[in-house]
Amino acid sequence: MIKPLKLAKKAIHHAILIVLAALWLIPVYAMLIDGMKSAGGVLTTPILQPTGLSFTSLIEVSTALELPIVNSLIISVTTAAVSTLVGALAAFYFYKGRSWTNNSVFVIIAIATFIPYQITLVPVTEILSTLGLFNTYPGLIFTFVIFHLPGGALLMTIFMSNLPKSIIESARADGAGDWAVFSRVAFPLTLAGAVSTFILTFVEVWNNFFIPLVLTSTPNMYTASISLLSYTGGYGTLYNDSFAAALVASLIPLLVFVILGRYFMRGFLALGSGSKG
């Protein structure tokens, strides 16, 4: 028999969580209902009150953001792929030996992972201008790889450190050289970790605002997050456009989060407490 006191406690427990969750969801709620509000609805209802559906604003914003989204995709996917694969190679190096040099290099990579990227504002602009890469895909990707490759190497090292040593040793006993051990055993067995690394890097690059702000100068190179600057809602803007723009610009990372959230979370946890959670 459940005591009424226990039942009440349970109810309070759930109620607190539901209230917190509701607070957390307000922005998504607003994006969804207001991104699909008509101009008339905007003028007659406040932000948190729903009215009828209209896709006008959403379609308009989608068209305007099409190119920035393609730009974001190109840059994020390339950076994430390079960081994951090249990072995996580095991880294999860290995995194989535990010498003094090895550990020092690893500490340097770990430090590089966490350095705030803003600090390179001046030199990176200078270098890219000198190389003629300012306001180009290669320039943006090159810069992003500089910032995200150390993180990719760190994450892949964390995931790879879970591989039993005996599997790698047995591959060597089976006659496999370094490259074969990496490509046929170590990397395939760290695939789940590679997915985490890829997703985490992808979302971070997609959401990055500072680097494209500094390194792009023409609208055709703008990324999704930069484009949001024109929807911040000064006088005269209607809020349905702002919410529609936020929704469109966040849709891909949000979908990635919803569908592959497990990998996303594992990436963060690995960075925090190591691969075991």
With binding defined as CB under 8 A, does residue 161 bind another protein? Answer: yes
Query: For another protein, what does the binding mask look like between residues 165 and 204, x meaning CB under 8 A?
Result: xxx-xxxxxxxxxx-x-x-xx--xx-------------x-
Per-residue contact string for residues 215-244; x = within reach of another protein by CB under 8 A:
---------xxx-xx-xxx-----x--xx-
Which of the residues 4 through 33 are near another protein (CB under 8 A)? Answer: 13, 16-17, 20-21, 24-28, 30-31
Task: Tell which one of 47, 74, 77, 81 touches another protein (CB under 8 A).
Answer: 47
**CB of 167 within 8 A of CB of 185?**
yes
Rounded to 5 degrees, what are φ and ψ at 133? -105, 0
Distance (Å, whole) CA 247 – CA 240: 10
CA–CA separation, 13 and 85 (whole Å): 44
C-alpha closest to that of 261 among 206, 205, 203, 208: 203
Tell me the closest approach of the beta carbon of residue 48 to another protein, in angstroms.
6
Binding residue (CB under 8 A) for another protein from 64, 81, 121, 133? 121
Candidate residues 145, 195, 215, 221; the one interacting with another protein per rule CB under 8 A: 145
Q: Which two tokens stand for residue 93?
A: 């190096």
Contact map string, positions 68 to 107, toward another protein, x by CB under 8 A: ------------------xx-xx-xxxxxx-----x-xxx
Residue type for position 232: T
Listed in sequence order, the residues at least 6 apart from 5 whose beta carbon sits closer than 8 Å to its beta carbon are: none
Q: How far is CA 212 from CA 118, 135, 216, 271, in A?
A: 12, 8, 5, 25
Residue 105 or 136 with smaller CB distance to another protein: 105
The correct pick among 73, 81, 112, 133 for binding another protein (CB under 8 A) is 112
